[in-house]
Amino acid sequence: MNILVVDDDTIVLDSCRLVLEAEGFDVHSVPSADAALETMENQDFDLLLVDVKMPEHDGMYLMQEIKKRWPEIPIVVMSGYPTPETIADGVNMGAAKFIAKPFTPDELLEIVRQVIGKEEGLETEKSSRN
């Protein structure tokens, strides 16, 4: 299970990597939207964790690009400024879930599992149809 974490703050990248790797996920982390797109050209991911506020291209831009090119990859949006507007924007862009910073390891895992579980359910559905 490959997860790509995108955030300009290394402490967030480190935190996510620590928690998710402990649970057995393969975690790649990049510090910007452009780096994320570059990475995704070369590698497949099952889930993206994207921060909203980043210098240069922000999380919203990144989601837009991903939805164009890899629309099937689920995205979890992270924000340190969880206003209803931000959450609504994320959901409108096609985010699967929203998680407010700061979060505990349990809270992060809970969200991730929910999203992956849903995706797996869909996968199962798809395969059974096939």
Partner 1 sequence: MFSSTRSKLIISFLGVTLLVGTVSLLVGGQLLYNAVLSEANTRVRLDLNSAREIYQNRIKGVDASLNITTLGPGFRAALGRRDVAELLRRLRRLAQSANLDFAGIVTNQGKTLCRIGPHSIPAETAQIPNPMAALALKRGDAISGTVVLSDDFLDAENPELAGRARIQLLPTPRAAPRPDKEETTGMTLGAAVPVFEDGDILGVLYGGVLLNRSQEIVDRVRDTVFQQETYRGRSIGTATIFLGDIRISTNVFTPDGKRAIGTRVSSEVKGRVLDEGKNWMDRAFVVSDWYITAYEPIEDILGERVGMLYVGVLEAKYVDVRRKALSIFILLTLAGIALAIGLGYLLEDKIMEPVRRLIGASAQVSQGNLSPEIGPISRNEVGILQKTFTEMLNSLRERDRRQKAESEIRLLQSEKQASIGKLAAGVAHEINNPLTGVLTFTHMLLRRKDLGDDVHSDLQKIAHATERVRKIVKGLLDFSRQTKLDPEPVDVNRLVRSAISLVENQALVRGIRLIFEPAEELPMLTLDRAQFESVLLNLILNALDATETGDTVTLSTGISVSTNHVSHKGLEIAVTDTGCGIPPENLDNLFDPFFTTKEVGQGTGLGLAVSYGIVERHGGTIRVQSEVGRGSTFTIWLPIGELSGQK
Which chain residues interact with partner 1 by CB under 8 A?
7, 9, 11-12, 14-16, 18-19, 22, 53, 80-85, 100-106, 108
Is the CB of 30 or the CB of 40 nearer to partner 1?
30
Is the CB of 57 or the CB of 101 nearer to partner 1?
101
> Do residues 7 and 13 lie in contact, with contact meaning Cβ atoms separated by under 8 Å?
yes
- Least distance from C-beta 38 to partner 1, angstroms? 23
User: Can you tell me which residue has the tokens 């790797």?
Assistant: 21
Is the CB of 35 or the CB of 100 nearer to partner 1?
100
- Least distance from C-beta 58 to partner 1, angstroms? 13
User: Can you tell me which residue has the tokens 């996510």?
Assistant: 16
Closest to 47 in 3D by CA, of 28, 23, 30, 65? 28
Is the CB of 14 or the CB of 125 nearer to partner 1?
14
- Least distance from C-beta 42 to partner 1, angstroms? 28
Burial of 50 (0-12, 13-18, 19+ CB in 10 A): buried
- Least distance from C-beta 102 to partner 1, angstroms? 4
